[in-house]
Amino acid sequence: MLKKGAKVVAKESWKEFWRRHTVVITLDKLGVPRPIQDAIPWIRHIRSEIEAESEQEQADALQDQAVATPISATAGLTPHEGVDLLYQQYRCWCGDPLSCNWPYQTVQEDPKADACKECGFPAVLLEKREIRGRRGRYRIEGFLGRRGMGRLYRGVEVSDRQPVVIKEYLLPSPCFNQEEVKQRKQVFERIAGVNSADGRVQDFRLRQPWEAIADVHEERCYLLTKGNLDTCPTLSAYLLTHGAMTSEQVRHVLNQVLQTLEFLHGQKFRLPSGQMQPGLAHGNINLDSLLIVAEGQTFFIHVCDLALWERIFDPPTTDTLNGSRTQAQAQDLIHLGYVAFYLLTGQPQDRMTGEVLDPKNEQHWPLVDPALKAFILRLLALDFPFESAEAARQVLLRLPVEKPVSVVVQVDPEADEPVKASRTPFLILGIISLLALGILAWLLLPKPQASESADNDFLPCCIKEVPAVPSGEFTYTTDKDGTWDYVRKQIRGISNNQSLEGKLKESQPKLALKYETEPSSKEAIAKVQSEAVNFAITSLITDLPSDLQYQPIAYDGIVVFVAFSYSRRDRSLPRALKGQITFEQLRQLYIGKIQNWQELGGPDLPVKLYIPAEKDAVRIFEQQVLKDESAIESFRRLQAQNNQSTSFSSSVPLQTITSLSTKPQMLQQVIRDFEDQDQALGGIGFSTLSQVFGQCSAYPLAVGEKGQNPVQPLVQDDGNPIDPNTDLCNDKGSYRPNIEVFQTGRYRLGYPIAVVYPRDNSRAPAGQKFADMLRTREGQGILSQAGLVPLQRF
C-alpha cells in the first residue's frame, strides 16, 4: 500500500491522505454498516479510491508473479495429473470436468444450456457462436477437446474466413471468487502472448498467440492462434496411438525442444502490455504442451501453452515455487527430461498398477542407448546438470550414433582346440536352459488381462460424438473391386440395405459423402493429390507424396487357402499340409515349379493356381511372397498364358494361373475342382481376409518362413489358432481374426487399410474426420462385421 500511497502523496498533503484512509478504516472497525457509510458521499468517494488501489495492487502482484514464470508445484507431473486438481468442487462422474463428454453432450441435446446437466460445469460453446476481440471477430466452427488447462475449438476469423484455433479457459464461481476472476482476466490480456523485442519474425516452433480475450459477460477467457497447427496431436495423444518412441525419435524430439528453449531463455521479449522481458522460462513443459506435426518421413515438435498465461488459471489453492528466472529455466530442462523418459517408456504410468513411472527407479527404464540414457539423467539433474539449454543441445548433438546391442563371445586365439570344444557344449546347454526356464515362466505366469481393456478406452464411443465434422458434400474414392469397394457393399448388407454414407449421415447430418472408384490405388491417390476428390481409402500408404498423409482405420491381409471338404476327407489338403505352408513353397507353386501336391507330401492331386481379380492383393503378394524379380516375371508369364495352348518352356508341363473374383467365383471353383469325381484338382488361391473370412469352402493356411513357426491369421475363442480339425462350417462365431498378429506385424501378409487425405490445413478436414468416425467403437464394429480386422478388440 505504501508504494501506491507514495504516488498519491505527491499530489496531496500527508495530512489529507492520512485523514481519508483513517476515517474509512476506523468506521470499518467500529462496525458501521456499509450502506450507512455509502450514504455519505465523501466517504463513498474515498472508499472507491481505496478499493481501486487495492485491486490494482493485487492484479499487479499477480502479473509480477506470472511474468517471473512461477514454477508450479504440479508442472513436472504426468499429463493432466496437476491439471486434474482443477474444479474439484464439481461432482463430475469421471472426476475431470474438462475431459468429460457431458458438457458437450448437454449442448447437443439442449442448445440453450449453459452448464452440464450432470454436475453444473460450464457447457461447451455452441457452433456459430461469435467472440469479439480487439483484432477481429471470430466464429466457433466445432469443438476439438481438451488440452492442458483449457478446451480447444476450431474457428474462423469472420472477416476473411481464415482458420483459427480458440483455447477457452474457465473461471467458474465455485472455484474463483469475483475478485480472483477480475484479477485473472486483467492479467491475462496483459501478458498472454510474446513477441521478439527486436521485431524480427523468428520461427523456433513456438506457438505464439494472435489475441487474448477476456469475456466481459462470462467467466471465460480465450486465447487465439492463427491456422490449424494447434489441432495437431500432443505427445500425450501420440503415445496413446503409437506407443513408445525409439531412441532415435526421442533424440529428434530433444533436439527440437532444446532449440526452442534456447530461443526462449536467451532472447528478449515484449509482452502485450508493452513490458520487456530479458528471456523467459517455459514453465510448463510436459507431454500436453508439445505438439507433434508430421512432415513427410519426419516430424516437428511445436511448443505451446507457456506457464506465463497457462498458470494464471491454476486454482487459488495451488502452491507455486517462486524461484528466480535461472531456476525456472533449469526446471524446463528437468521437465524435458521427464518428457524424454515417458516417450521411451511409452506411458507415464504403469497401466496395470497405476504406478507413476519414475526415472530414479532403474527397473522402470526400458532398454535404451546408454549414451542417451546418461544424457536424460543429466537433464533430470540426477547426474551433473546442464548449465543451460544451449549447453544441453551441444552435448546432444555430439552424442555417439546409437549402436545395436549385441552379445559378443570372445575366443582366445591362443587357447587349445580341446579346451574350446569342452567349453562350447556347456555354453550352449546354459543358453538352452535359460531359454527353457524363460518360456516355462511365461507359460505358467498369469497373463495380464487389463491392458486390453485399457487399450479399448482409447476408442471413442460413437460416430455422433466425433467433434468438428465439416459441413457440406465431399467426394472420396478407392480402387475398383478392391478391399474397400467390397467392404462398402457388405456394410449395405448388414445395415438394412443402408449404405455407409447414409449410415454416417444419420449420425452426422451435416456431412454428405459421394463415392467414386478408380482403376487402381495409384490413380485414387493421384485424384486426392490433384484435389479432384477430398480423400481416398487404400492399402497403398508406403511412399506417399509429401503433401499427403494417412490415418489407419482397420487391417486386412492376404490369406492363402486350399479346398476344405468333408465329402473327400481322405485327400484333405489342410490335413496333409498340417494347416500350414512356407513362403518358399508358395514361391515354387506360383512360378510353376511344383505341379502336384505329392511334391509337398500331400495326395496325388494336380495343382491348380488361382489369384484374385483385385490388383492390390496381387501387388502385395508379389512384394511379400515372390519378392525376386525373376520369380515375379515367371508368375506374370503364367498369368499371361492362361488362354494359350503352349507352354513357355518345353521342359515344364503346361501350368497356368486363373484370375477370378474371390467371392463367390474363386471360392466356389476351388471346392468344385477338389470334389470333381472325374478329374479332381488340388486348387490353391489367395485373396483378402475380408473376403475369405466367414465361409467354409476354403481353409486359410498358416504361413511363415522355413524353420520358423508359421502364423495363422484366425484364432479360436480360447486364443489358440484354428487347425484342420476346426469345423469352419458349424463352428462359425467360435473363431475370429487374430488382431494381435496384425497389430504387431507378425502376420507378414497383413496390412493397414487407411484414409489418405491432403496435408493442407486450409482445406476442410473431411478425410481426417471420416477416419475419426470409423475409429470409434461404433465404427470399428461396423468394419468388423463387414470383414475387416479392427484396430483393437472392443
d(CA 364, CA 325): 32
- How high is the pLDDT of residue 437? 53
Higher pLDDT, 207 or 33: 207
| 661 dihedral zone (left: phi>0; alpha: psi -120 to 50; beta) | beta
**pLDDT tens sequence across 275-308:** 787 888 999 999 999 999 987 678 899 999 998 8
Can the peptide bond before residue 664 be classed as cis, meaning omega within 30 degrees of 0?
Answer: yes
Band of pLDDT at residue 428, cut at 50, 70 and 90: low
Q: Is the pLDDT of residue 63 over 80?
A: no
Q: Please report, for residues 418, 519, 758, 778, the alpha-carbon distance to residue 526 in angstroms, rounded to integers and kept in the order given.
A: 67, 12, 11, 30
Give, in order, the Cα–Cα distances in Å from 557 to each of 308, 551, 665, 709, 741: 50, 17, 19, 18, 11
Per-residue confidence (pLDDT) for residue 205, from 0 to 100? 86
Asked if residue 342 lies in contact with residue 76, where contact means CB atoms within 8 angstroms, the answer is no
Here the CATH number for the domain that contains residue 313 is 1.10.510.10
| Residues 650, 746 share a domain | yes
The answer to whether residue 95 scores a pLDDT higher than 90 is no
Q: Is residue 734 domain-shared with residue 595, that is, in the same domain? A: yes
The reply to whether 50 falls in a domain is yes
Q: Kindly state the average pLDDT of the residues 248-269.
A: 91
Is 490 within a domain? no
Number of domains within the chain: 4
- Please state which of the ranges 567-576, 591-600, 696-705, 723-732 shows the lowest mean pLDDT: 567-576
> Which residue type is seen at 289?
S
Average pLDDT for 5-25? 44
Average pLDDT over residues 243-251: 93
- With H, G, I as helix, E, B as strand and everything else as coil, classify residue 51: helix
Please give the DSSP secondary-structure letter assigned to residue 789.
B
Q: Which residue has 472497525 as its cell numbers?
A: 29
Q: What is the pLDDT of residue 453?
A: 33
For residue 41, pLDDT over 90 is answered with: no
Structural domain contains residue 741? yes
Whether 556 contacts 788, CB under 8 Å: yes
| 744 and 620 in a common domain | yes
> Helical H runs in 322-405?
325-345, 370-379, 389-397
Q: Are 759 and 548 in contact (CB under 8 A)?
A: yes
Please indicate, yes or no, whether residues 263 and 290 belong to a single structural domain of this protein: yes
- Decide if pLDDT at 731 tops 90: no
Whether the per-residue pLDDT at 602 is higher than 60: the answer is yes
Q: Tell me: do 207 and 282 sit in the same domain.
A: no
Q: Which of 312-326, 346-360, 582-596 has the highest mean pLDDT?
A: 582-596
Q: Do residues 184 and 66 make contact, with C-beta atoms less than 8 angstroms apart?
A: no
DSSP assignments along 173-222, one per residue: TTTS-HHHHHHHHHHHHHHS--EETT-----SSB---SEEEE-SSSSEEE
Selection from 755, 750, 230, 291 nearest residue 535 by Cα: 755
Does 769 or 319 have the greater pLDDT score?
A: 769
Most confident region among 258-272, 332-346, 630-644 by mean pLDDT:
332-346
- Which of 400-404, 627-631, 739-743 comes out lowest in average pLDDT? 400-404
Same domain for 225 and 289? no
Which set of grid coordinates corresponds to residue 193? 502472448
Mean pLDDT across the chain, nearest whole number? 80
Rounded to an integer, what distance in angstroms lies between the CA atom of residue 691 and that of residue 673? 20
- The phi, psi pair for 706, rounded to 5°, reads -60, 135
Residue 704: the pLDDT is 93
**pLDDT > 70: percent of the chain:** 77
Mean pLDDT of 161-184: 90
Say if 277 falls within a structural domain: yes
Q: Interior CA angle at 485 toward 480 and 487, to 5°?
A: 160
Domain endpoint, select from 750, 768, 789? 750
Q: How many CB atoms lie within 10 A of CB 378?
A: 19
* Radius of gyration for the chain, computed over Cα atoms and rounded to the nearest angstrom: 34
Domain range spanning residue 46? 2-67
Confidence of residue 231 (pLDDT cuts 50, 70, 90): very high
Instruction: Write down the pLDDT at residue 416.
Output: 37
Instruction: Check whether residue 567 and residue 701 sit in a common domain.
Output: yes
A 10 A CB-CB count for 358 gives 12
Parallel, antiparallel or unpaired: strands 130-132 and 137-147? antiparallel
Grouping H, G, I as helix, E, B as strand and the rest as coil, residue 582 is strand
Do 273 and 203 belong together in one domain?
no
Is the domain of 169 the same as that of 292?
Answer: no
Single-letter residue type at 328: A
Of 458 and 73, the structure prediction assigns the larger pLDDT to: 458
Based on the fold, state whether residues 202 and 96 are members of the same structural domain. yes
Residue 787 domain flag: no
pLDDT tens across 497-545, in order? 788 888 899 999 999 999 999 999 999 999 999 999 999 999 988 888 8
Helix (H) / strand (E) element for 457: namely none
What distance in Å separates the CA atoms of residue 74 and residue 318, rounded to the nearest whole number? 8
Work out the average pLDDT over 662-678. 85
Higher pLDDT, 756 or 792: 756
Final residue of a structural domain among 750, 772, 789: 750
- Indicate whether 118 belongs to any domain: yes
Backbone phi, then psi, for 678, in 5-degree steps? -90, -45
Average pLDDT over residues 731-759: 90
User: Using one digit for the tens of pLDDT, what is the confidence trace for 474-503?
Assistant: 999 999 888 999 999 888 777 777 888 888
pLDDT of residue 459: 66
The answer, yes or no, to whether residue 5 has pLDDT greater than 50, is no
In terms of Cα–Cα distance, which of 310, 350, 455, 421 is closest to 78?
A: 350
Helix axes 14-29, 2-9, angle to 10 degrees: 140
**Helix H or strand E encompassing 738:** none
Find the Cα–Cα–Cα–Cα dihedral 772, 774, 775, 781, rounded to 10°: 160
Q: Report yes or no: 634 and 599 within 8 Å, Cβ to Cβ.
A: no
In this structure, the number of other CB atoms found within 10 A of the CB of residue 577 comes to: 20
pTM of the model: 0.48
User: Which residues 6+ apart lie within 8 Å of 324 measured at CB?
Assistant: none
For the segment 367-376, the average pLDDT, to the nearest whole number, is 91
Same domain, residue pair 220 and 241: no
pLDDT computed for residue 105 by the predictor: 87
Judgement on whether residues 104 and 173 belong to the same structural domain of the protein: yes
Rounded CA-CA distance 625/618 in Å is: 10
Can you tell me whether residue 162 is helix, strand or coil? coil
Q: Is residue 728 part of a domain?
A: yes
Predicted local confidence at residue 640, as pLDDT: 85
Greater model confidence, 559 or 762: 559
- Please indicate, yes or no, if residue 485 is contained in any of the structural domains: no
